[in-house]
Amino acid sequence: MNEANLRAYNFNAGPSALPLEVLEKAQSELTNFRGTGMSIMEMSHRSAIFEEIHNGAISRMRKLFSIPDQYEVLFLQGGASLQFSMIPMNFLQVGQQAGYIMTGSWSEKAFKESKLFGEPYEVVSTKENKYRNIPALEDIQINEDDAFIHLTSNNTIYGTQWSAFPDTGDIPLIADMSSDIMSKPVDINKFGMIYAGAQKNLGPSGVTVVIVRKDLLEKANMDIPTILKYSTHADNNSLYNTPPTFGIYMLGEVLNWMEAKGGLEAIAKNNEEKAKVIYDAIDHSNGFYTGHATPESRSLMNITFRVADETLEKLFLTEAEEAGFVGLNGHRSVGGCRASTYNAVPLEACQALGDFMVQFQKKHS
């Protein structure tokens, strides 16, 4: 626990830590936003004030993430899980193939949904290696008539992350970036579409960011429900139906915070420093802690590891919770431990965890 402000050391995988400065500003504006006598949650999404908030968030995202003009920026709902269905609904014709690169549970779920709308195939999978690594770029072989290629940029459950992305040529590359979006600079031009839930790096749960190339929208299927067409939301500036207004307000404030921190270059450098502290505690433990991911595929967002034996692992998690660390349990499907070090997790929290890990090892070795 950080005694200075009584904030927990929050390593939750999502919803996850938000910047304290953003929370404090939201608190100060919660009941009377800009002298209106109303909360932002009470205002019409058609009001001039919300329009300014909404468009400001889009503008800041474009600037920070270097999003070219040929891409739409949409704020949707339903999380990444709805995108698993919307993507093939919009971009996959019956009988047409799409390639899925399998690196974990979320890739599997996206692949499963795509089967309902076409003929997806597995481009390559690391499942036999228990999803410990990201595929080598030379192992990615695609078909020239694929509708798209889909990948998950960071895998929260297994703690792996792409450090470089494949060149798919004229085939649109679609990436689920839910757990590492805007944690570092990315060349948007490599992608036909990027999507992400906001609840890890960008704000609270309830907002889904979609960055999609405009020419893909022109070729998309039209014989699907109106609200499930990306073109519907692009044509209406994401205001076809009532959007998650408070979530978009918070997202905009998080983007302001990121800009004040120096933008994505500075955010990326800080994320590398934070992750190194915890990985060093693992690597210097002489096997007391064991990382799940292979070193070349390690995530800077989700650090997954096991403790020497099951009894000690349970004790580690118990004592960590007593010491003020929250969210260190691994995903229920794999167990173990996981520290999620998203953008808003401060370096101080990672240093505290690294120190705790070292002391726990000394105590129990």
**Per the CATH hierarchy, to which homologous superfamily does domain 263-364 belong?**
Aspartate Aminotransferase, domain 1 (3.90.1150.10)
Write down the catalytic residue from 146, 162, 184, 200.
Answer: 200
pLDDT of residue 1: 55
Catalytic member of 146, 162, 176, 274: 176
Asked about 112 being catalytic, the answer comes back as no
Domain boundaries, the chain: 24-260, 263-364
Reported pTM: 0.96
Closest CA to 16 of 326, 351, 352, 334: 326
Q: What pLDDT is stored for residue 333 in this prediction?
A: 86
Lookup: tokens for 344:
């808003």
Which DSSP string do the residues of 202-237 spell out, in sequence order? TSSTT-EEEEEEHHHHHHS--SS-GGG-HHHHHHTT
State the CB neighbour count (10 A cutoff) for residue 345.
25
> Catalytic residue at 176?
yes
According to the model, what pLDDT value does residue 93 have? Answer: 84
| Beta pairing, strands 9-10 & 325-326 | parallel
**pLDDT of res. 217:** 97
3-state secondary structure of 63: helix
Per-residue confidence (pLDDT) for residue 2, from 0 to 100: 54
- What average pLDDT values come out for the chain (365 residues) when binned by 10 residues? 72 97 97 96 97 98 98 98 98 91 98 94 97 96 96 98 97 98 98 98 98 97 97 98 98 98 98 98 98 97 96 98 97 93 98 98 95
Which tokens hold the place of 153? 């940029």
Cα-flanking dihedrals φ and ψ of residue 120, to 5°?
-75, 160
Known active-site residue 106: yes
Pair type for strands 154-155 and 337-340: unpaired
E-assigned strand segments in 68-219: 71-76, 97-102, 119-125, 149-152, 154-155, 160-161, 173-176, 193-197, 208-213
CATH class of 24-260: alpha beta
pLDDT for residue 94: 79
Q: How far apart are CA 307 and CA 313, in angstroms?
A: 5
3-state helix, strand, coil in the chain (%, to 5): 40, 15, 40
